[in-house]
């Protein structure tokens, strides 16, 4: 199969719907294997023959192949729907060998359900018409079939009915996928609105005060220049330092307004944030980020905020020479760890005491983690550095799955 066709087929089964379609396809293959066993048990002994045995074993093996290699077979069926004709031809052999009114007929309706699950209206219609034609051909070749309502109408009607059921199941999956994505977009919008409100508060509490201090010092500067030049030099140095702080705060606030970062793979986000922080501060950072772990969009947003705050705390309080950032899968969820070799501090028994010691960020990170069902832990001792670990729940669909099983 050309790579483009295979890629397009895989894209057609991406997301939650793709995962569930794959699960349903495997279930249908399991049903066919069970039908093979039941058909042999329900067939009278005098009707046993080599041809029936060969057909049943062949169908069972074909179903087992679909069960074990579905990740390769389903994209082929999607890219080239004509391939399902092979299964229809097998159904003809089954009906000729086992009879159109016996338990072997149930093999063929599974193919109809698969067509409804994978194809659109036109594809399902063509498959059902082909199956009905195959059924009539097998019935015409049999000598013991009596023309009746059951043989002419009722039995062939099973094909469109099962195809309809397969299509409805696929419709439910697609609808759930659409609702899940809509909920994700709503979570992003809510998280972005909440983050903007936080940034507005921070701008008022930090940047506005810094700029006000710069303005007041600048107003007093001419007075000090005339009265005490040495003091004027000190004030000028303070103004320059405060301006640098204000510039850094502006850059951080602008960076915080970017929403696209939560849409990228989490391991890439963690690495990019750590690398950017290392460049701006000059502190070396080692990063180990495990790919494939998925969080809900709201939890992603809080993860980004917690990581940024943890690194900012290193600058404000730690005086560290090196920092280690790790993102990995843990027994209770995804784990983010930020460790530094700074001066550390004594952890009080009451978390609220951290506010009095100037560790506002730790309290905020703990609140962020708790808001999405996570837990934040702090390990630190004076002179031994600080390690911050946050455990976050994985997304509803778990870890990222390859191709057809993506969540």
Mean pLDDT on 199-226:
71
Q: In angstroms, rounded to a whole number, what is the distance separating the alpha carbons of residues 125 and 108?
A: 15
The more confident residue out of 198 and 140 is 140
Q: Residue 348: pLDDT above 80?
A: no
Instruction: Output DSSP code: residue 264.
Output: S
Q: For residue 25, give the nearest of 62, 64, 74, 58 by alpha carbon.
A: 74
Q: In angstroms, rounded to a whole number, what is the distance separating the alpha carbons of residues 398 and 223?
A: 65
Percent of the chain topping pLDDT 70: 79
> Looking at residue 253, what is its pLDDT?
63
> Looking at residue 262, what is its pLDDT?
57
295, 392 Cβ separation under 8 angstroms: yes
Domain range list for the chain = 3-182, 262-407
Q: Output phi, psi for 392, to 5 deg.
A: -120, 140
Per-residue pLDDT tens for 134-161?
888 888 887 777 778 888 888 889 889 9
Task: Indicate the pTM of the whole model.
Answer: 0.51
The more confident residue out of 29 and 191 is 29
Q: In angstroms, rounded to a whole number, what is the distance separating the alpha carbons of residues 200 and 220?
A: 29
Mean pLDDT on 216-228:
80
Q: In angstroms, rounded to a whole number, what is the distance separating the alpha carbons of residues 70 and 19?
A: 12
Reported as a pLDDT band with limits 50, 70 and 90, residue 209 is: low
> Looking at residue 5, what is its pLDDT?
46
> Domain 262-407 belongs to what topology?
Heat Shock Protein 90 (3.30.565)
Q: Residue 28: pLDDT above 80?
A: yes
> Looking at residue 388, what is its pLDDT?
93
H or E element in which residue 322 lies: none
Per-residue pLDDT tens for 244-255?
777 766 766 666
Q: In angstroms, rounded to a whole number, what is the distance separating the alpha carbons of residues 56 and 40?
A: 8
Reported as a pLDDT band with limits 50, 70 and 90, residue 208 is: low
Average pLDDT of the chain to the nearest whole number: 79
Per-residue pLDDT tens for 95-131?
877 777 777 788 788 888 988 888 888 888 888 888 8
Q: Residue 43: pLDDT above 50?
A: yes
Q: For residue 114, give the nearest of 58, 159, 56, 55 by alpha carbon.
A: 159
Reported as a pLDDT band with limits 50, 70 and 90, residue 394 is: confident
């Amino acid at each position: 199969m050309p790579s483009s066709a295979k890629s397009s087929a895989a894209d057609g089964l991406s997301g939650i719907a793709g995962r569930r379609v794959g699960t349903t396809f495997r279930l249908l293959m399991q049903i066919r294997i069970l039908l093979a066993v039941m058909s042999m048990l329900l067939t009278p002994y005098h009707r046993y023959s080599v041809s029936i045995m060969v057909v049943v074993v062949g169908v069972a093996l074909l179903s087992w192949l679909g069960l074990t290699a579905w990740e390769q077979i389903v994209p082929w069926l999607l890219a080239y729907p004509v391939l399902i004709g092979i299964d229809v031809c097998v159904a003809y052999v089954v009906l000729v060998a086992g009879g159109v009114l016996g338990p072997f007929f149930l093999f063929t309706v599974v193919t109809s359900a698969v067509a409804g699950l994978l194809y659109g209206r036109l594809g399902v219609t063509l498959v059902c018409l082909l199956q009905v034609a195959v059924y009539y051909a097998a019935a015409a070749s049999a000598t013991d079939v009596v023309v009746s309502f059951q043989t002419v109408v009722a039995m062939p009607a099973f094909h469109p009915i099962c195809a309809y059921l397969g299509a409805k199941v696929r419709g439910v999956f697609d609808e759930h996928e659409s609702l899940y994505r809509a909920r994700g977009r709503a979570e992003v919008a809510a998280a972005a609105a909440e983050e903007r409100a936080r940034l507005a508060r921070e701008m008022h509490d930090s940047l506005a005060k810094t700029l006000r201090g710069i303005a007041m010092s600048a107003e007093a500067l001419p007075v000090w220049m005339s009265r005490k030049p040495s003091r004027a030099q000190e004030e000028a140095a303070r103004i320059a330092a405060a301006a640098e702080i204000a510039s850094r705060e502006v850059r951080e606030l602008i960076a915080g307004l970017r929403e696209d970062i939560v849409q990228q793979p989490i391991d890439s986000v963690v690495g990019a944030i750590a690398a950017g922080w290392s460049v701006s501060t000059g502190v070396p950072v080692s990063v180990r980020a495990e790919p494939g772990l998925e969080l809900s969009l709201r939890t992603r947003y809080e993860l980004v905020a917690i990581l940024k705050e943890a690194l900012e705390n290193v600058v404000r309080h730690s005086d560290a020479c090196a920092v280690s950032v790790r993102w990995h899968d843990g027994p209770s969820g995804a784990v983010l760890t930020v460790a530094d070799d700074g001066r550390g501090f004594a952890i009080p028994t009451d978390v609220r005491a951290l506010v009095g010691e100037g560790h506002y960020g730790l309290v905020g990170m703990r609140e962020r983690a708790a808001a999405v069902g996570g837990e934040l832990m702090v390990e630190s001792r004076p002179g031994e550095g600080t390690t911050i670990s946050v455990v976050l729940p994985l997304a509803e669909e778990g870890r990222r799955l390859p191709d057809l099983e993506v969540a």
